[in-house]
Structure 1
């Protein structure tokens, strides 16, 4: 589904369109949408929905009204209304599915505050748009140098030019409030455009820049994740993960978003489990929790007096012991609930080979030749000849 610029060069290296998420064919885009109502006709007497969803750089989307009923399809490049001038973007969704998206975003189509679409982008509009896109990397480097010279505690993460080149949006991250009045004056003097500063969070910055996660795949926030939910350390505790910030933090410096993916399954599985700090009371003595396996529904307890042997118990058995304790009828010992039946273990054989993997690490020893034996054999042969 990618465009022709995604092919490889003569030497085999990939070309890459360098559009950073705004592919004109709608094939390489983050958050591309499939219009499953495109082949269906509307009932008689019903007009087509006049709202269109347009995507700009790095997945930024907005809704626009099409008052002139211009025939627009997904993937078309259009010129849209902006303040000031006009902007150029790619149509990401049309038709009745735009109603679903607007309802999801809690936007009412009856309002008059939506900007409108001027026309389909001409070749002149596209040429100006591409020239502005090519300037963004150079402008970003100069903008960072100016911010460092002014000793501002902020980081310019990305720059986005408007389609007509009259305005530039500078995305930055900062931990504290930044007074960038002097910065805007210098930006306007150097770049000769209208300046707009927009602060984003660390997660939004990672989504705009992209990268490879510790799992070996592209970041979720830069490929398919649309909303950023808060991730707490309790999510790691529920999943029995060690609270190591080096392993739990992503490239944005915050807790990884994937910690929330399986959290609901762990919370549901832990409903029947007792609290980890609860002590089991038996006639033999008290026992504390040492380890637990959530999905196998197993817990390991050890006595205070005998900490060495761990007793494997099922969740139902632990709940039965706790219930007996509350009824002032404690059980005799934990050993009564331990299942001693041997488990059927599968004996796997080495299908690759029975040799050791380190068989080539040590050099082979040379066999010593025993030179004495042939001498003794020659002497015996000579003596036999003399006797003869």
Structure 2
């Protein structure tokens, strides 16, 4: 499937030097699907709807402050490739070209709606994020913000401090909404004291409850319908067996877009998050490195690899400390490795070494299982 029937010409084009106040008024009046930013008549980037509506940046600020760089895509591009472009670019909208002419835009929601009927073959458990970062309901909002930044996530399931059961969910949008509402109520001016008080608030005061959830055995189609119908970007996954209130995972629209890039032919597909951090290593080197690790265990077929980079504030002679996480989706389940280093190249190779050890450990476990099976069969013959 290509995106010729998914893309839409319903967009607004604004100059990078335009005032955000004017951009907001145009957006509210025309209600487009997306905003394309140009500089000297040439495409420069995009502005997401949420970024524009929720931003508290002054109206006199130029539009390019909110602009994100999104790769341009061809109107006849395959939907899988467009999904990869959106995920790797960290954006929900991309410009669509017909030849050299800007034709329109494509959004993440439009892609999900177009492929909805084909998502019934996948279950939530197959693509959910398992290593969930949670926070207690009595923790301070400042702690939650640090945790969101540290792990590069947009939502935190909130758990009861006593029994660990799911109590709510806190997202970056919840925090921004609170700041916006409070700013409108209090007015402009020096509000540093108000900000400090907000950071000291318990998470319980800002979290959303009850939480929209899904179960591990639910189809991805049903989960996406829930997200689209309720205009949310993610769901908390609860256990399939019994509703004991625990958190089993998180499923987001980004997870679903990432799943669209999985190949059906048994060939490995590699998707990178925060591709802009690849200043010291090329995409081809990453694919080659993961292929080398996968080849260590011939019987393990790698269908999909997700490589995620996250930049820390710490630097060494100007080079930032980077965390790299690699997760492989294989015919034997998932295997992962992570590591840190100065620069994306160093971080990737540290993570790849950890991944290789984990792959070889998985190989050893499989071998042990086969040996135990053979031994039991022989004992049964006695």
TM-score tier, shorter chain, comes to under 0.3
The one of the two structures with greater contact order (alpha-carbon pairs below 8 A, sep at least 6) is 2
- Report the structure, 1 or 2, having the larger helix content: 2
**TM-score normalized by the length of structure 1:** 0.20
- Report the structure, 1 or 2, having the larger strand content: 2
